[in-house]
Amino acid sequence: MEIVAYGVLADEEPLLREAFREAFAGRHGLRCLGLFLDRDTVPTAADHEVVLSSVNDTLDADVLRSLAEGGTRMIAQRSTGYNNIDLTAAKELGLTIARVSYYSPYSVAEFAWALALAVNRRIVRAAYRTREFDFRLDGLMGRDLRGRTAGVVGTGKIGTAFARIAHGFGMRLLGWDIVENPDCLAMGMQYVPRERLFAEADLVSLHVPLLPDTHHLVDAEVLALMKDDAILINSSRGGLVDTDALVETLRAGRLSGVGLDVYEEEAGVFFLDKSLEVMTDDRLARLMTFSNVLVTSHQAYFTRDAVGQIVRTTVANIEDYCAGRSGDNTLVRPDTA
C-alpha cells in the first residue's frame, strides 16, 4: 500500500525514506508532502489506509471523520506530543492512533540550554553587531550561572537531562513535578511547590506536556512571582505559557531573557516561510520586537539522532498495525473503543 506523510521537512525526508526501504523493501510506498493536514488538505489523504502526521497537523473530529470516510484506518504521529489529535473522536471512528513515546531527550535538553546561554550572554545581538563590524560590548553583559538556581518544571527524561547540564554548571537545582525523580534527587535537586520554584529560580526551563491542567501553567500570576532578572525557557509546548501575560511582563521591563522554541499559536506559522508575507499574529510580532527574547521555530528535537529515532519508531508503529499488534506507542485501537 501507499502511505502518505504530512508536514515532512526537507532534512527529514531522506531519513524517512531510508527507514521505509530498510523495513519494507518495497512492500509499502511512501508519499511525502510538505503541507500540513487540516480541513483544507484532508482530501489528499483519500484512499490511504495509513497516514503519518506531524505535530502541527490539525486532527480534530472533523478531520478525523473525513480521514475515516476516505479509507484511513491508522494514523502514526511523528512526535511525542499528541494534543493536536482528538483521541475521543478517533476511538468513536475506529481509528488506530500511535505516536513516538521516546526519542533522544538530549536533543531538546541541549537546545534548551543553547537558548538559555544565548539569551544570558546576548549572543544573537552580539552576532548581528559583529557582522556590521561593531565590536562594542555595550548591552552585552550577562551573568555567571555557577551558584545560581535553576528551576526545572517537569523532571522526566528531558527535564532530567537539562538538570544534569545545570548540575555540571554548578547550579542549585529546584524541581517541580507530580513524582520525584530519583536521578534528580541524586544530583541534589530539591522538589518544591510551583510558586516557590518560580520565585527563587534565576533560570526556569519548562519540560512538561501540554494537558488541560498545564495549559497556561505560566500565567500572569506565576510571571509576577519571578525575579525581575530571571530567564524563562520553553522548549516543550507553546500552550504552557500565556503569551499575552508574557508580553505584558516584558513590556514592564521584567525578565532578563526569554527563549522560546515553541509558541501557542505556532500552527500555520512555524515550519513555513512567511518572510514575504505580513505577519498577522500581533502577539508573535510583538514578542519578536523585544531584544531580550529569542524565538526559534520548534527545532529543539531536530537532530539527526532524534529524527532518526522518530522515523524508526514510526516505521515500527506501522509494522505493529499491519501485524495487528499494539504496544507502548499505541494511543487508540479500535478494540478499546
Q: What is the pLDDT of residues 213-228, one digit of tens each?
A: 999 999 999 999 999 9
What single letter denotes the amino acid at residue 267? A
Mean pLDDT over 29-39 rounds to 96
Mean pLDDT over 37-49 rounds to 97
Mean pLDDT over 262-273 rounds to 90
DSSP H stretches of helix in the chain: 13-24, 61-69, 87-93, 105-120, 123-131, 157-169, 182-186, 194-200, 220-225, 243-251, 282-287, 304-322
- Which residues are the active-site residues? 237, 266, 298
Statement: residue 173 has pLDDT above 80: yes
**Per-chain mean pLDDT for the chain:** 95
Statement: residue 322 has pLDDT above 60: yes
Mean pLDDT over 45-53 rounds to 97
Both 249 and 172 in one domain: the answer is yes
Give the number of domains in the chain.
Answer: 2
Both 99 and 117 in one domain: the answer is no
Residues 333 and 337: their CA atoms lie apart, in Å, by 7
Statement: residue 195 has pLDDT above 90: yes
Both 30 and 169 in one domain: the answer is no
Both 214 and 167 in one domain: the answer is yes
pLDDT of residue 299: 95
* Beta-carbon-side half-sphere exposure of residue 20 (alpha carbons within 13 Å): 19
Residues 140-164 have pLDDT tens digits of: 999 999 999 999 999 999 999 999 9
Backbone angles phi, psi at 110, to 5 degrees: -65, -40
Extract the C-alpha cell encoding 309: 529515532
Strands 330-332 and 96-98: antiparallel
| pTM of structure | 0.91
Both 37 and 173 in one domain: the answer is no
Confidence tier at 56 by pLDDT (50, 70, 90) = confident
Both 122 and 95 in one domain: the answer is no
Both 194 and 316 in one domain: the answer is no
Both 192 and 325 in one domain: the answer is no
Backbone angles phi, psi at 140, to 5 degrees: -105, 10
Length of the chain, please? Answer: 337
Statement: residue 194 has pLDDT above 80: yes
Mean pLDDT over 92-113 rounds to 96
| CATH number of the CATH domain containing 18 | 3.40.50.720
Structural domain of residue 77, as residue ranges?
Answer: 2-103+303-336
Mean pLDDT over 179-206 rounds to 98
Dihedral sign for Cα 81, 86, 88, 92, please.
negative
Both 127 and 251 in one domain: the answer is yes
pLDDT of residue 336: 46
pLDDT of residue 337: 40
Both 200 and 242 in one domain: the answer is yes
Both 35 and 130 in one domain: the answer is no
pLDDT of residue 81: 87
